[in-house]
């Protein structure tokens, strides 16, 4: 199976080097290359890559915000953050926003290839040198996810046990719109169903004033 990959990095030397490296992997097809965050969103929405290698530090739109946008606009694309360990706080933010894993920029070619393959299978490639520290930091505090006012309204009604039809009626929106909000919300907070979303809300205090 060919894995369709896009990459985003504002440093031309790094970007070109990655393009050349990806060209040596027989099971990888490069379908897009972006020099910034806005371009990364456009490429991913247009090309629907299986995996996006995403730099965190870009001037126009950073990797965390790119991840948030693509969680809603191209949820089928699995994002692997590509950065340095000094960015560990933003790595955690990117994982909370929906990135599936991360690589450090000093990764060996075989590590990059293995990470792309793992991400394409839905696994979470985490750079071994930083995984323990990052996971400890992430588990030490609940993830920070800023909910929109509408997401808060929907989540509050989910916590109260209301089905989609009742939520739609109470909020004056369509049932399809409710489902869309829930799909985006589940992706952003990293849960699979309504029960997990309700537990997340209780654990993090996301609905407290």
Predicted pLDDT at 58 = 87
Same domain as 170, residue 122: no
pLDDT tens, residue by residue, 123-138: 878 776 656 556 565 5
Domain that holds residue 37: 3-139
72 lies in the same domain as 110: yes
One domain, residues 124 and 174:
no
Mean pLDDT computed over 77-99: 81
How high is the pLDDT of residue 96?
80
Is 114 in contact with 173 (CB distance < 8 Å)? no
Give pLDDT, residue 133. 57
Domain contains 32: yes
Residue 161's pLDDT is 87
Higher per-residue confidence, 133 vs 49: 49
Residue 5 has pLDDT above 70, yes or no: yes
Judge whether 144 lies within some domain.
no
Q: What is the mean pLDDT of the segment spanning 80-93?
A: 76
1 vs 32, more confident = 32
pLDDT at 139: 57
pLDDT attached to residue 1: 85
How far apart, in whole angstroms, are the C-alpha atoms of residue 101 and residue 81?
Answer: 6
**Are 134 and 155 in a shared domain?**
no
Residue 171 to residue 191: CA distance in whole angstroms: 23
The structural domain count of the chain equals: 2
Residue 47 lies inside a defined structural domain of this protein? yes
HEC secondary structure over the chain: CCEEEEEECCCHHHHHHHHHHHCCCCCEEEEEEECCHHHHHHHHHHHCCCEEEEECCCCCCCHHHHHHHHHHHCCCCEEEEEECHHHHHHHHHHHHHCCCEEEECCCCHHHHHHHHHHHHCCCCCECHHHHHHHHHHHHCCCCCCCCCHHHHHHHHHHHCCCCHHHHHHHHCCCHHHHHHHHHHHHHHHCCCCHHHHHHHHHHHCCCCC
pLDDT at residue 79, rounded to an integer: 95
42 and 15 in one domain?
A: yes
Mean pLDDT value of segment 60-84:
90
What CATH number is given to the structural domain containing 183? 1.10.10.10
pLDDT in tens, 148-207: 889 889 999 998 889 999 999 999 999 999 998 998 888 888 888 888 888 888 777 788
**Whether residue 191 sits in one domain with residue 129:** no
On whether the CB atoms of residues 120 and 25 are closer than 8 A, the answer is no
Residue 15 has pLDDT above 70, yes or no: yes
124 in a domain, yes or no?
A: yes
Q: Alpha-carbon distance 158 to 154, whole Å?
A: 6
Residues 168 and 133 in one domain: no
Domain boundary residue, one of 139, 157, 175: 139
Same domain, 128 and 170: no
Is residue 78 located within the same domain as residue 9?
yes
Q: Is the pLDDT of residue 17 over 90?
A: yes
* Same structural domain, 50 and 82: yes
Q: Are residues 126 and 165 in the same domain?
A: no
Instruction: For the chain, give the mean pLDDT.
Output: 86
Q: What is the model's pLDDT at position 85? A: 62
Mean pLDDT across 38-42: 96
**pLDDT, position 157:** 93
In-domain check, residue 74:
yes
């Amino acid at each position: 199976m060919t894995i369709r990959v896009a990459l985003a990095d504002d440093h031309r030397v790094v970007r070109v080097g990655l393009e050349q490296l990806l060209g040596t992997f027989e099971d990888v097809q490069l379908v897009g290359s972006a020099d910034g965050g806005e371009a990364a969103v456009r490429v991913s929405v247009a090309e629907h890559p299986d995996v996006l290698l995403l730099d965190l530090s870009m001037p126009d739109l950073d990797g965390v915000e790119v991840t948030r946008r693509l969680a809603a606009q191209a949820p089928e694309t699995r994002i692997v953050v590509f950065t340095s360990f000094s960015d560990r706080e933003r790595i955690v933010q990117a994982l909370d926003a929906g990135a599936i894993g991360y690589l450090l920029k000093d990764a060996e070619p075989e590590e990059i290839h293995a990470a792309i393959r793992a991400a394409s299978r839905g696994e979470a490639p985490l750079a071994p040198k930083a995984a323990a520290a990052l996971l400890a930091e992430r588990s030490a505090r609940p993830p920070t996810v800023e909910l929109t006012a509408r997401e808060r309204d929907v989540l509050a009604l989910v916590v109260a046990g209301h089905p989609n039809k009742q939520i739609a009626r109470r909020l004056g929106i369509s049932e399809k719109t409710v489902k869309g909000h829930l799909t985006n919300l589940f992706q952003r907070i990293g849960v699979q169903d309504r029960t997990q979303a309700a537990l997340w809300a209780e654990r993090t205090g996301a609905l407290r004033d």
